[in-house]
Amino acid sequence: MKHKHIRAILLKATILFSSLYSLVLLFFMHFLPNSKFTAVILIPILLIFMILLLLFESHKIAPLLAEKESNANMNRILYHLLYKSVHANNKEELYQHILDSAIEAIPIAQKGSIMLLNEETGLLHFVAAKGYDFDKLKNTYIRLEQTYLYLESKGVINRTVVIHDPFGYDRKKFGEKNIEQILDAGTENVMSTLSSPIIFNNKLHGMINIESKYVNAFTSSDQTTSELFALEIINVIKLFTFKEQLTYVSNHDSLTKTYNRNYFNEIIPDQLLLAKEKHYPLTLVSIDLNNLKRSNDCYGHECGDMLLAHFTSYIQENLPKNTYFFRYGGDEFFLLLPDYTKDAAENLITSLSDILKKNSLKYNEQSIELSFCYGMSMFPTEHTDIDGLMRLADERMYQQKRQYHFSLH
C-alpha cells in the first residue's frame, strides 16, 4: 500500500509538471512565437518550476520512506532475534537476546531489564539486564506492588506505562532495602522508562523495562515497539521451550530418564579431548543390572520396567556433579567419570552398590534385590580411543558377570 501511495504522489507531480509545461509552452508560442526569449528562458523557468513542485511534494514522500526504512529495520531485528533464539544455549542467554533486540529497536533507549514473576511468592526476579550491574540485580527481587506497572495502573496491569524521572520516582515511592540494591546496580542517568507487561493466556508472567537518559524520550511508536517485544518474549520462550523438549527427548531414555546411547556417542569425543587437553584421567564404567531377565520372566515386563526405573533413580540421585550416566541398551549402562582415578571410581561404585542393597524393589509382596556387575577402563593409561575403552570395560564387566552367575549356583 505504501509503495502505491508513493507512486501516486510521483505520478501526481509528473502530471502537474506536464500540464504546467504545456500551458507555458502554449503561452509563449501564442504571444511570442518568434521571440528568442522562448528558447533561452523557457527551459530554465520550467526546470525551476519542476524543482519547486518536487520540493512541495517531497514532504509527503519523506515520512513514507522513513516508515518503510523503520519497518525494514524492525524486520531485520526480529529476524536476527529469531535466529539467535533457535541457537541460544539456555534461557538466560535467550532473555538477554530479547532485551538487546528491544533496545536496538528503540534508538533513543540505552538500558533496560526483563523481570519474571513467581506466581506463588508474588516476587519478580531479574533474568536479563543491559546497562546495569547484573551481578547485583540477579541477587535481589522486587514485589509486584512495587513496580511501575502496578502503581501506575493501580493494579490493573494490561498496558504499557511511561515513567518520567524513574530515579526520583523510586526514591519517592519506596526506600526499602531491595529497592536500594536495585538503585545501586546503576539507575543513575535514567530519565525515562517504558514498562510493558508480559501477558500470556490473560496472566501476567513478567515485564520488560526500556530506559533512556533523556527526559520525555519515548513516543507512542516506541510504546508500540516495547509492547511488540513483550509479546515476542512469549513467542520466543515457547519456541525455546519446544526446542528444549526436543533436545531432551533426543538425549534421554524415555523409561529411566537417564542419558541415552545417542547422547553417549555425542559427548564422548568431546570428553576425551577435554581430558587430554587438561591432563586429567577419565574412567569409563560398564554396568550391567542384575536380575532384569529373571524379573521379566517371573513377574512380567511391568516388573522389569519398574526394576530399571528403581535402579536408575537411586544411581542418579547419588551421583556427584560432572558425572554422566547412560542407558546404552536393555540392562546395559555406562558411567562416565571425568577427572576420576581408578581408586576414586572404585570408591564411588562401592558407595552406589551399598545404597542399592538397602533399597530393594517391592513388587507384589516380592522383594527383588538391586545389584549390578561392572568393569572399568582408564583414559589415557589403558586406552586413548573410545572403542578400546568400551571394549576393555565390557570385558571386565562380563568377567564379573560370569562370576556372579557362578555364585548363584
Residue 126 has pLDDT above 70, yes or no: yes
Provide the pLDDT for residue 61: 45
Q: What percent of the chain has pLDDT over 90?
A: 40
User: In whole angstroms, what is the distance from residue 382 CA to residue 393 CA?
Assistant: 10
For 193, the enclosing helix (H) or strand (E) is strand 192-200
Given pLDDT bands bounded at 50, 70 and 90, which one contains residue 30?
Answer: low
User: What range does the domain containing 220 cover?
Assistant: 91-248
Provide the pLDDT for residue 221: 86
- Decide if 204 contacts 155 (C-beta within 8 A): no
* End residue of a domain, out of 206, 222, 248: 248
Q: What is the DSSP letter of 360?
A: P
* Pair 66, 212 in one domain: no
User: In whole angstroms, what is the distance from residue 340 CA to residue 320 CA?
Assistant: 11
- Mean pLDDT computed over every residue of the chain: 81
Given pLDDT bands bounded at 50, 70 and 90, which one contains residue 220?
Answer: confident
* End residue of a domain, out of 61, 84, 107: 84
- The model's pTM: 0.62
* Pair 365, 307 in one domain: yes
Residue 183 has pLDDT above 90, yes or no: no
Given pLDDT bands bounded at 50, 70 and 90, which one contains residue 62?
Answer: very low
* Pair 222, 267 in one domain: no
The closest alpha carbon to 374, from 285, 292, 294, belongs to: 285
* Pair 109, 238 in one domain: yes
Given pLDDT bands bounded at 50, 70 and 90, which one contains residue 298?
Answer: confident
Provide the pLDDT for residue 2: 47
- Decide if 367 contacts 360 (C-beta within 8 A): yes
User: In whole angstroms, what is the distance from residue 16 CA to residue 24 CA?
Assistant: 12
Given pLDDT bands bounded at 50, 70 and 90, which one contains residue 19?
Answer: low
* End residue of a domain, out of 194, 220, 248: 248
- Decide if 226 contacts 194 (C-beta within 8 A): yes
* Pair 336, 270 in one domain: yes
Provide the pLDDT for residue 86: 73
Query: Which residue, chain included where needed, has cell 536393555?
Result: 330
Note the pLDDT tens digit of each residue in 338-373.
Answer: 999 999 999 999 999 999 999 988 888 888 889 999
Provide the pLDDT for residue 228: 83
* Pair 189, 271 in one domain: no
* Pair 239, 344 in one domain: no
The closest alpha carbon to 203, from 153, 148, 233, 158, belongs to: 158
Domains identified in the chain, total number = 3
